[in-house]
Structure 1
Amino acid sequence: MANTSAVYARIDTNLKDSAEEILSQLGISPSSAIQMLYSQIVLKKGMPFDLRLPSSKPLAVGAMTGEQLDAELRKGVDSIKAGRVYSADEVDEALAKEFGI
């Protein structure tokens, strides 16, 4: 028999149920999912995903108030008038750096 150890964790019941429903649909047991997580932590020598605080900036136009949208558009117009323009590659690079997209 393999050398194994038990891991005990207390988590929110709704979170557990939701996660286990998804795991079930994937055909993965909770124990296997935890084993996968631990394996990735070892391989990456850290968490296998980014840990950072959410951005306080709106990420979508639909999430902005009218005033916020007007302010952002004004910034863009002022930037163009001042001659600050960027290529599509530069914009993509900035978005990737700031938002990971």
Structure 2
Amino acid sequence: MAITKTASVNVRIEENVKNQAENILETLGIPRATAIDMFYRQIILNNGLPFSLTVPKSIPIREEMSNDAFHAMMTTGYSQALKDDSQPMDEVFKELEEGL
């Protein structure tokens, strides 16, 4: 049997993102290390990220959203507000203007 070398990956990530992802992984029965290994292997197989990176062309409009989608979006926003997980509006608009 061949001996496989392993390496560590240390990452800084927002606590709420980590918790949400790990809750989903737990539901799926996939350990965090296995999920990270799977992600890295997909990067290798795809010779890049295994998904496309896009910016939505527009922000969803309430009239165009289903009730479930609207409530999910509002629940996320409310949860972020309760955790004080937000940015001052001036900074958000400044970042948006710089990105144009």
TM-score by length of 2: 0.56
Question: 1:51 and 1:24 mapped to 2: Cα distance?
Answer: 26
Q: What's the Cα RMSD here?
A: 2.1
Alignment of 1:16 onto 2:25? no
Question: 1:57 and 1:13 mapped to 2: Cα distance?
Answer: 25
Corresponding residue number in structure 2 for 1:32: 34
In structure 1, runs of 5+ residues without a counterpart are: 65-101
Which amino acid letter does the alignment assign opposite residue 33 of structure 2?
S
| SS across alignment from 1:8 | coil
> Percent of aligned pairs with the same residue?
44
Alignment of 1:49 onto 2:51? yes
TM-score by length of 1: 0.55
After TM superposition, the runs of 4+ consecutive aligned structure 1 residues lying more than 4 A away are: none
Query: Residues 62 and 26 of structure 1: is their aligned pair in 2 closer, same or farther, counting only changes over 3 Å?
Result: same
In structure 2, runs of 5+ residues without a counterpart are: 66-100
